[in-house]
Structure 1
Amino acid sequence: VKSSVCCAEANMLYLEAPVGVGFSYCINTSNYVGVDDEITARDNLIFLQRWFVKFPEYKCRDLFVTGESYAGHYVPQLAQLILQFNKKEKLFNLKGILLGNPLLDFVTDFNSKAEFFWSHGLISDSTYEIFSSACNYSRYKSESFRGSVSPVCSGVMNQVNNEISMYIDKYDVTIDVCLSSILSQSNALTHLQVAEKLDVCVEDETTKYFNRVDVQKALHARLLGVTSWVSCSDNLHYKKLNFEESMIPVVGSLIRSGIRILVFSGDQDSVIPLTGTRTLLHGLANKLGLNTTTTYRAWFEGKQVGGWMQVYGNILSFATIRGASHKAPFSQPERSLVLFNAFLKGKPLPEEFRAIE
């Protein structure tokens, strides 16, 4: 993090977790079975302990832990373990956590999908009604985790998926899809993109890139137990029932300990919609007795609105990133950087447009 001896905004350490994702591996492949939140949090803490032992010059730096999506579980639980460890030995200078489109509460987050789909015109009024009453998304996922989806939920999800169609990216409902990920390669691909648009085929291109021998050699990567790198594999067997555990009590305990928290949402994401996140944080603020210290307002990146934000008790913040996907820094990097820098410095997001230098 920025200090008197460092000119960068932050020194960033990327951790592939749990073991088995990315290019991380374990010689004992039995460790890929039965992985859960508790194991992941413990392993992450051990990694950080050993990293600071190896690089003690970073111990005095402010530490921020960040992540997206299911990191709504990983990050708060790691932060909780860090605070517990610090009671025995002060090693980590934890200042805050930053969560993007996070899964915080299974029921609220997943059931907000129905309103998001409907409000964006992706499903009909009648489908919205049955998706909210006959079988909501949290019930459907809960049944699927247990290997037995009821006929009513199967019927509702078929209707939802048929109306949305397979040609919509649920991580960003406004962009075109990469046809090569859905259909075989065709001439239509050459007409799919315009140079200035987001590269919607980046996942396909990333897979090809990471499977290049020269790239794997440069990264000192080992493919242990797998034949190729893929974005989603069945190599790791995670305990899916962990999804149903709410992280709101953990986030609340971090706030009580004085840890600053910023939760942001790419506003075009239907996987973890902003509406559920916003509802959860407002409810948590009320439970903790945190008054609104910055009222809901727009914030700016350059001359454009970057999104909207609200702050509770000068410790819990919520922000949207306008036009961003489930992975906001990928789809809106400039706006995400403004938000990131403001959080690290403890400064408010810009509230009026400024000239771009």
Structure 2
Amino acid sequence: MVFQSVVLKLFMSLLFFSSTITTAIATLPKQQELDRISALPGQPPVTFSQFSGYVTVNEQHGRALFYWLTEATSFPEKKPLVLWLNGVIDPNHLINNYALHNCAGPGASSVAFGASEEIGPFRINSTGSSLYLNEYSWNREANLLFLESPAGVGFSYTNTSSNLKDPGDKRTAEDALVFLIRWMSRFPQYRHREFYIAGESYAGHYIPQLAEKIVEYNKALLQPAFNFKGFIVGNPVFDNYYDKIGVITYYWTHSMISDRIYHDILNECNFKEVNQSSVCNGRQIYAEKYELGFVDQYSIYTTPCVTLINDTWAPPRLRNTLLHPRVSGYDPCTRNYAEKYYNLPEVQKAMHANVTGILHNWIAHSADIQNNWTDSEFSMLPTYKKLFAADLRIWVFSGDTDSVVPVISTRLALNHLNLTVKTKWYPWYADDQVGGWTEVYDQLTFATVRGAGHEVPLFQPKRAFILFKSFLAGKELPHS
């Protein structure tokens, strides 16, 4: 009864928009053309089309979400549509700043992270003024739709300042659904296309919550509005209890903390509660401040990007320096290049961005959104159980060098979904090397990506690409 009431309320709230579809279709080519990107500053030649702009999701409050569509490199009309959502916490905020205490949270830009350093077609040069091609861009296999969500993240905005003080899971999912409905009316060629959602980190909340909204919305209509097939999510925030147990266990099993502090935290902390005792908090802070050392907790085996002058947490030998060493092609300072590039007036003009003239620089991560988050589901396990009944393709993957939302956390959570094994645990391969390990269940597929941190496609682009191709094809990862 409650489920039906929610569906009916959602359907009625969006009915006004459906009634204007006929009128909207007549102007669609013009609307699309207004959003077309002719070329980005410093961009190499490409054969695919790009569009970006705003979709208003709430007229009363003036909330509008910014998107960037990069169509497939070949036969885009035959390729699926993939919506990418980011949720990763600020990397600079995470170095020795109590990740276990804070866990991962929302506020990241899909333009800065997903599009510009993970799965998008372009990478930004260190000058922050030009682009080069990403050999393993996922738009080789799909049309990619990057969404900056919620309002207040990246170029997305609200005209109601109080919206920035009370963001949360529920509103984010509702706004994302409205965005999709209205975006599809602007791009009707995608309305019946195979549709998937992908993302990482706090998108472990965003994605299943939006998936549930889409399933409910489709059920409320005589003909489904979305040809929704499933989702894939990496290093996802899954369950508050298992996530935090997994973090402290990962620290200990990777020799990052002492036996004493490991046992102290387990004894003093009750992670089944949202708020912890001062003793528990003190143990966590001690572990991360005095035992972990200067390490990037998103990728524990790579060198962090040091850019802050006289920063108190940087060791004395590293203060007053700017380090961005590359390890196997990985540059830890890529986020900084994005903040240079997307603040260029000519870039914003080309992308039809910042139309309201925000009074601050565009930033890759909004700490205000994260710090003011009002509602966050304690566990996503009940939502996954609901979605299993919707016959969706669901994949979960984990980079195994991430200590913020580690593979241990995800495995603990999955173990409590009572999954039925279809294909037993085995190593999967890329270029005759083990790319990771995987187990296939009747309800979902789980895979690890060897040598990857929190942003899997950033650290292991080819392995991530193979993972994505297998997901789209609905095939198991290569056995050899």
Q: How would you bin the TM-score normalised by the shorter chain?
A: 0.7 to 0.9
Q: Which deviates more, 272-281 or 211-220?
A: 211-220
C-alpha deviation, 1:351, in angstroms: 0.8
Counterpart residue number, 1:206: 338
Rounded to whole Å, the distance in 1 between the matches of 2:415 and 2:270 is 22
- Counterpart residue identity of residue 477, structure 2: L
The answer to whether structure 1 residue 180 and structure 2 residue 313 are counterparts is: no
Counterpart position of 1:122 = 256
Q: Offset at 1:241?
A: 5.5
> What is the CA-CA distance between 1:60 and the residue it aligns to?
2.1
Residue in structure 1 matched with residue 150 of structure 2 by the alignment:
18
Give % identity.
40
Give the conservation status (yes or no) of the 8 Å contact 1:329–1:336.
yes
Structure 2 portions without partners, runs of 5+: 1-71, 80-139, 312-317
- The alpha carbon displacement at 1:195 in A equals 6.8
Structure 1 vs Structure 2 CA RMSD: 2.5
Contact 2:399–2:451, Cα closer than 8 Å, also in 1: yes
Alpha-carbon shift at residue 213 of structure 1 (Å): 2.5
Counterpart of 1:231? Answer: 364
Distance 2:359 2:268 in 1: 41
Partner of 1:40: 172
Residue deviations 1:275-296, cap 9 Å, x none? 1211211321x2xxx4211110
Partner of 1:275 in structure 2? 408
Residues 308, 30 of structure 1: alpha-carbon distance in 2 compared, 3 angstrom cutoff: same
Q: What is the identity, as a one-letter code, of the residue corresponding to 2:458?
A: F
Residue 146 of structure 1: aligned partner: none
Higher helix share: 1
Matched, 1:329 2:462: no
1:260 corresponds in structure 2 to 393
Q: What secondary structure sits across from 2:298 in the alignment?
A: coil
Residue 12 of structure 1 and its aligned partner are, at CA, apart by 1.1
User: 1:35-67 CA distances to partner (integer Å, 9 max, x unpaired)?
Assistant: 221111111111111111122221221111111
Do 2:164 and 2:372's aligned partners in 1 also have CA atoms closer than 8 Å? no
Q: Secondary structure at the match of 1:35?
A: coil
Q: Is the 8 A contact 1:181 1:204 kept in 2?
A: no
User: TM-score normalized by structure 2?
Assistant: 0.66
CA displacement at 1:110 relative to structure 2: 1.6
Confirm or deny: 8 A CA contact 2:167 2:373 kept in the other structure: no
Cα pair 1:73 1:104 within 8 Å, conserved: yes
> What's the offset of the Cα at 1:229?
1.9
Distance 1:71 1:182 in 2: 32
Tell me which residue corresponds to 1:355: none
Identify if the C-alpha distance between structure 1 residues 262 and 208 changes in structure 2 by more than 3 Å, giving closer, same or farther: same
In the alignment, the residues of structure 2 paired with residue 244 and residue 115 of structure 1 have an alpha-carbon distance, to the nearest angstrom, of 23
Write the distance in 1 (CA, Å) between the matches of 2:353 and 2:432.
42
The residue correspondences of 1:108-257 to structure 2 (distance < 5 A) are: 108-135=242-269, 142-143=274-275, 150-165=277-292, 167-181=294-308, 183=310, 189=322, 193-194=325-326, 196-222=328-354, 224-236=357-369, 240=373, 242-257=375-390
Measured in 2, the distance between the counterparts of 1:216 and 1:101 equals 31
Cα shift at 1:252: 1.1
What residue in structure 2 maps to residue 303 of structure 1? 432
Contact 1:130/1:156, CA 8 A, preserved across alignment: yes
C-alpha distance after superposition, 1:264-309 (max 9, x if no partner): 011111111111211211321x2xxx42111101111122111100
Alignment partner of 2:212 out of 70, 80, 83: 80
Count of equivalent residues: 339
Structure 2 distance, partners of 1:302, 1:36, is 42
Residue type at the aligned position of 1:18: P
Please identify, of 200-209 and 96-105, the stretch whose mean Cα deviation from structure 2 is larger: 200-209
* One-letter amino acid matched to 1:6: K
Helix, strand or coil for the counterpart of 1:335?
helix
Change (3 A) 1:204 1:164: farther
TM-score under structure 1 length normalisation? 0.87
State the distance in 2 between where 1:161 and 1:77 align.
Answer: 32
Q: Over residues 129-164 of structure 1, what are the superposed CA-to-partner deviations in whole Å (9 max), with x where a residue is unaligned?
A: 11212126675xx33xxxxx6431242023201344
Decide whether the 8 Å contact of 2:151 with 2:157 is kept in 1: yes
Deviations 1:48-98 (A, max 9, x none): 111111222212211111111111111111111111111122111111111
Give CA deviations for 1:191-240 in whole Å, capped at 9, x if unaligned. x6247441112222222222223322222221654411223334436664
1:6 lines up with 2:78 in the alignment: yes
Pick closer, same or farther for the CA change 1:208–1:18 going to 2, 3 Å. Answer: same
Check whether the contact 1:113–1:137 (CA below 8 A) recurs between aligned residues. no
Q: Is the 8 A contact 2:168 2:376 kept in 1?
A: no
Unaligned runs of 5+ residues in structure 1 are: 144-148, 353-357
Matched AA of 2:263? E
> Separation in 2 of the partners of 1:83 and 1:3?
28
For residues 226 and 245 of structure 1, do their structure 2 counterparts lie closer, same or farther at Cα, with a shift above 3 Å needed? Answer: farther
For residues 226 and 253 of structure 2, the distance between their equivalents in structure 1, rounded to whole angstroms, comes to 43
CA distance in 1, matches of 2:186, 2:347: 26
Structure 1 residue 13: Cα displacement: 0.8
Separation (CA, whole Å) in 2 of partners of 1:129 and 1:17: 38
Distance 1:138 1:326, change over 3 A: farther
Q: Is the 8 A contact 2:428 2:438 kept in 1?
A: yes
Cα 1:155–1:245 change in 2 (3 A) is: closer
3-state secondary structure, aligned to 2:145: coil
Give the counterpart letter for 1:103 in structure 2: V
